[in-house]
Amino acid sequence: MAEKVKLPINPSIPSGEQTVWADISFLLDSACEGLRDGELIHGENFNLFAAMSALEIMDPKMDSGIVRRYYSVDEAIDSGAAPIPLSSDRTLDVQCVIDIMDHLLSCEATWHKGHSLAQTVFSCIYLLKPDRTTSHALLHSYCRVIRATCNLVVSVVSDARTNEEEDLFTMTYGLPLKGDGDEKCLSMLHAVEETIARQLRACKAPPSKRRVVEDMEPLQTNPDLEEEYCKALLCRIRFRKHFFHALTAMRRPQGRGLELARKHIASCLSELDSILKSSKFLCSNACGTCEDGLEDRTTASGCQPIGFDASLNCRLSAPTPPRAIKILSWIKGVEYFQKLLHDLDILCSYSLDPLLEGVLHFVIEFHKFQPDLVARAHLQVLLIHDGKLYGRDPVFTVISKAAALPEVLKDYEIQNEVLGQLGQLVINLLKILCTNAAWQRRKLGKILQDWRVSYMQLELGFKKEFREISSTLDENLCAKISKHILIWVEEQTYWIASRFLSLGFDLELYSPSEYCMVYWYMYVVFIRLAEKTHLKMLTSHETGKRKAKKKKDSLKDLARDYQIPPGVLLLQCHIYLAEALTMMLAALRNEHKVFTSLGPFNTELERFNQHFELLQKASIPDHMSFFSYEESTMNTRLSNPVMLNCFKDAQRIAKELRSSFSHDPEKMAELRRIEQVAEHNGVALNLICRNSSTASGDGEFWRSGSARDGVLGSPDGFRRVSIWVRSTWPTGMVKSSFDGDGDGEFFRDMKVRRDLGV
């Protein structure tokens, strides 16, 4: 065959100085003849594993070369793929430039959402040759601002870099990301904006006044369309301008530009609205109607943009099989930017709380909006800069406040290696909390051990080091520092553990048959967390108290000393809830064989060890193992009154706490949810118990009931009981309904409810 087909050797890939192109088809053919199926000729370092990454040449599913339309950007340009101007008809030219702008927005959103820059934004041929566009001021300035914006975003994300999600995002190899003069993009864009604004004014002016501005050349040739085209361009240009400004302002150190950024963000959002509105005009102009809808279109007009070819950059991406990237639709692209801007706005309105507790709270709340990479990267560079909180507060200051060190000690510079490490742990923690939930959970699991080790080192190190270093401090103070810090480190460790466990719900890592052990684990972790938090407050209180005594404060104040702080009480609610849910699930398992987990290959022990391996490794908590879990749930019966009391207590405390948190809507919502879960389950439990006691045989009542939806519907009997378990701790719930066929599928309808608006 090889003799018959003479392959043309493509001259656009030149031979090197000491290399020439040669046809080896004949050699391959004769080699093949000697081989049988499944045999492989290979070098020593080429094994079957390496063979897997082999690409089959000439297979369009594998070979990125053969799906490429052009060999190079120059060839594409020579073939007229990206003309300048886009059309000699100036109206058409404007229309085409708008399409490019829109498609670029879709591409940019697609990039932010996790595809490579090369195959999204830089599929635009105009962007790839920065100098070519010079003669077209509008296109040129727009390309510049796009490149500059991409550059800015890449730099934020690289600064925040923590995991592979960012790696793909910041892969810019071979792309002309920094065109000469792109830094002047704003002034160029401004000039273009000015011109179009004047053109808009000119076409709107009454005929009598037109003479004044007559020397003004219109944007394009059709006077009927002039106004709308000017408007369509203006909002697009202004959006880019404000977006660039907003990003620049956000990068100012110590959050100094946040207020300014908010103004630009607001402008961006309003320009986006105008962009959306312009679609109607552009659409009707381009194709006559807008009827087809815009679901899949990447431009406002619905037209295919000129000058894009994603395959041109194939060679820049890793040698993987070619995969077509689906660019987000224009509507989805605009929606993405709206969401991004809202997320950034939340960041910009943050008050830069100097207390670590407040920072952590803010970050956790921020995650509820499910921010994408770009917003999270901004969060991180805002929080941590120059190794300081907000680039402002030294970590030790942050820790002293968090650990509630006595005032006298706060200013004292303690140079201690272990404390330095602790500072690093805090910084790492904050960075990890800015990553996506999946990655975050894995990392949190791993750093638990670091925190544990750090605790032990601190414990050992404090006594020794303080004596050596701080001869100026009296020993009493040293003891105090170590006590405060140690308690705080433990508290923080348990906080991380509880975040780790609750993220498992968010990520849907637990199946219903595992809920029981997860609740049990949360229960034991919450207890330790509450203990440490309480201890911390008591310790700092003691210090404060002594001062207060000196000031001879009233007896009333002293009486207040013994009240448990609301933060601890809230934890207490969670403890009750977790305890009750554990018991309830255990009892249902023990007595009714639901929520069991029987596999042919392993037991609950293995599943427990797998789920909590990282916690167990870090001894969180001490002396807790599968056997503690087994022991505490093995004999639980539904008749155990503790369960119901726990639900009641959770409900009661949540009610009482309302007054303490009335200023905090999120906490209020959390309290409401706790009350509801506790109440629902209390009712469900009563119902189950009542039916249990009247049922004839074990598990009989499941089948004997007549009414459906016993809990919510009819109280007189049931086939189906709903209990409320928490899917995301502490925000959402899962309603697990199961009916009593004993061995069937119990989870016919598991609905995740973000909010419990029954």
Partner 1 sequence: MEPAVTAKEGEMTVELEGSEIEYVSYGGEHHLPLIMRLVDEELSEPYSIFTYRYFVYLWPQLSFLAFHRGKCVGTIVCKMGEHRSTFRGYIAMLVVLKPYRGRGIATELVTRSIKVMMESGCEEVTLEAEVTNKGALALYGRLGFIRAKRLFRYYLNGVDAFRLKLLFPRRELHTSLQMMATKNENHEEMHLLQENFCS
CB nearer to partner 1: pick between 320 and 349: 320
Nearer to partner 1, 447 or 581 (CB): 447
Does 609 engage in binding with partner 1 (CB under 8 A)? yes
Query: Is the alpha carbon torsion for 199, 203, 204, 209 positive or negative?
Result: positive
Residue 192 CB, shortest distance to partner 1, in Å, is 35
Mention every residue, 6+ apart, whose C-beta is less than 8 A from residue 659.
Answer: none
The least distance separating partner 1 from the CB of residue 305, rounded to whole angstroms, comes to 23
Member of 72, 134, 187, 320 binding partner 1 (CB under 8 A): 320
Q: Are 130 and 327 in contact (CB under 8 A)?
A: no
> Which of 8, 11, 34, 38: binder of partner 1 (CB under 8 A)?
38
| 441 is a site residue for partner 1 (CB under 8 A) | yes
DSSP-assigned beta bridge partners for residue 728:
732
Which of residues 83 and 114 has its CB atom nearest to partner 1 in the complex?
114
Interface stretch with partner 1, choices 209-217, 437-445, 588-596, 676-684 (CB under 8 A): 437-445
Nearest to 157 by CA among 431, 426, 443: 431
Q: Are 238 and 107 within 8 A, CB to CB? A: no
x/- track of binding to partner 1 for residues 322-361 (CB under 8 A): -x--------------------------------------
Q: Are 523 and 579 in contact (CB under 8 A)?
A: yes
Enter the DSSP assignment of 733.
E
Q: Is 714 in the site for partner 1 (CB under 8 A)?
A: no
Interface stretch with partner 1, choices 17-25, 435-443, 467-475, 541-549 (CB under 8 A): 435-443
Smallest separation, CB 497 to partner 1 (Å)? 16
Q: Where are the beta strands (DSSP E) in 131-272?
A: none
606: contact with partner 1 by CB under 8 A: yes
- Per rule CB under 8 A, is residue 600 in the interface with partner 1? yes
Question: With CB under 8 A as the contact rule, which of the stretches 152-160, 523-531, 548-556, 604-612 interacts with partner 1?
Answer: 604-612
- Segment contacting partner 1 (CB under 8 A): 37-45, 331-339, 386-394, 580-588? 37-45
Smaller CB separation from partner 1, 68 or 242: 68
* Contacts with 338 (C-beta within 8 Å, 6 or more apart), sequence order: 269, 272
37 binds partner 1 (CB under 8 A): yes
**Nearest 5°: CA angle at 449, between 445 and 452?**
130
Interaction between residue 52 and partner 1 (CB under 8 A): yes
Does 370 participate in binding partner 1 (rule CB under 8 A)?
A: no
Q: x-or-dash pattern for partner 1, window 471-510, by CB under 8 A?
A: ------------------------------------xxxx
The torsion defined by the Cα of 352, 357, 360 and 362, in degrees rounded to 10, comes to -50
Of 319 and 420, nearer to partner 1 (C-beta) is: 319
Report the distance separating Cα 57 and Cα 59, nearest Å: 5
Residue 42 in the binding site for partner 1 (CB under 8 A): no
Distance CA 435, CA 433 (A): 6
Q: Smallest distance, Å, CB 509 to partner 1?
A: 4
DSSP 308: B
- Could you say which residues in the range 154-183 bind partner 1, by CB under 8 A? 164-165
Please choose, out of 415-423, 439-447, 583-591, 717-725, the segment that lies near partner 1 by the rule CB under 8 A.
439-447
What does 70-132 look like in DSSP terms, one character per residue? -SSHHHHHHTTSS-SSS-SSHHHHHHHHHHHHHHHHHHHHHHHTT--TTTTGGGBHHHH-TTG
Tell me the C-alpha distance between 94 and 699, whole Å.
74
Can you tell me which of 79, 134, 187, 511 binds partner 1, judged by CB under 8 A? 511
Q: Cβ(471)–Cβ(402) under 8 Å?
A: no
Gap between the Cα atoms of 702 and 717, Å rounded: 10
Distance of CA 215 to the CA centre of its chain: 53
x/- map, 546-585, partner 1, by CB under 8 A: ----------------------------------------
Using alpha carbons, list the distances in angstroms from residue 623 to 12, 26, 112, 236, 744: 70, 71, 45, 62, 37
Question: What is the x/- site pattern for partner 1, positions 59-78, by CB under 8 A?
Answer: x-xx----------------
- Least Å distance, CB 742 to partner 1, is 16
514-553 residues in contact with partner 1 (CB under 8 A) are 514
Report yes or no: 121 and 108 within 8 Å, Cβ to Cβ: yes
Q: Note whether 626 binds partner 1 by CB under 8 A.
A: yes
Q: Which stretch binds partner 1 (CB under 8 A): 17-25, 46-54, 548-556, 561-569?
A: 46-54
Nearer to partner 1, 103 or 441 (CB): 441
Closest CA to 263 of 348, 360, 329: 348
Give, in degrees to the nearest 5, the angle at Cα 706 between 703 and 707.
125
**Binding of partner 1 by 749 (CB under 8 A):** no
Q: Distances from the Cα of 526 to the Cαs of 520, 523, 570, in angstroms?
A: 10, 5, 11
Contacts of 560 (CB under 8 A, 6+ apart): none
Question: Which tokens go with 674?
Answer: 């706790």
Total residues contacting partner 1 (rule CB under 8 A)?
52
In the complex, least distance from residue 243 CB atom to partner 1, rounded to whole angstroms: 24
Q: Print the binding letters for residues 445-464 with partner 1: x by CB under 8 A, - otherwise.
A: -x------------------
* Beta carbon of residue 111, minimum distance to partner 1 (angstroms, whole number): 13
712 lies in the site for partner 1, by CB under 8 A: no
Structural Rg of the chain based on CA atoms: 33
At 409, the amino acid letter reads L
Burial 490-524 (b: 16+ CB within 10 A, else e): bbbbbbbbbbbbbbbbbeeebebbbbbbbbbbbbb
* Closest residue by Cα to residue 40 from 59, 53, 31, 62: 31
Residue 393 is given by DSSP the state B
**Binding mask of the shown chain, residues 234 to 273, with x at each position contacting partner 1 by CB under 8 A:** ----------------------------------------
Site for partner 1 in 100-119 (CB under 8 A): 113-114
Closest approach, Cβ 190 to partner 1, in A, equals 37
* Amino acid type, 155: S
Contacts for 377 with CB less than 8 Å, ≥ 6 apart: 156, 157, 159, 160, 166, 434
Smallest separation (angstroms) from partner 1 to the CB of 51: 4
Q: In the bound complex, what is the minimum distance in angstroms from residue 733's beta carbon to partner 1?
A: 20
Residue ranges in 634-693 that form contacts with partner 1 under rule CB under 8 A: none
Does position 695 bind partner 1 by CB under 8 A? no
DSSP 8-state assignment for residue 507: T
List the one residue out of 305, 335, 327 whose CA is nearest residue 142. 305
CB of 468 to partner 1, least distance (A): 35
Beta carbon of residue 109, minimum distance to partner 1 (angstroms, whole number):
13
293 binds partner 1 (CB under 8 A): no
Q: Which of 12, 34, 41, 49 binds partner 1 (CB under 8 A)?
A: 49
Among 136, 545, 607, 648, binds partner 1 (CB under 8 A): 607
Chain residues that interact with partner 1, rule: CB under 8 A: 37-38, 40, 48-49, 51-56, 59, 61-62, 113-114, 164-165, 320-321, 323, 436-439, 441-442, 446, 507-511, 514, 597, 599-603, 605-607, 609-611, 613, 616-617, 625-627
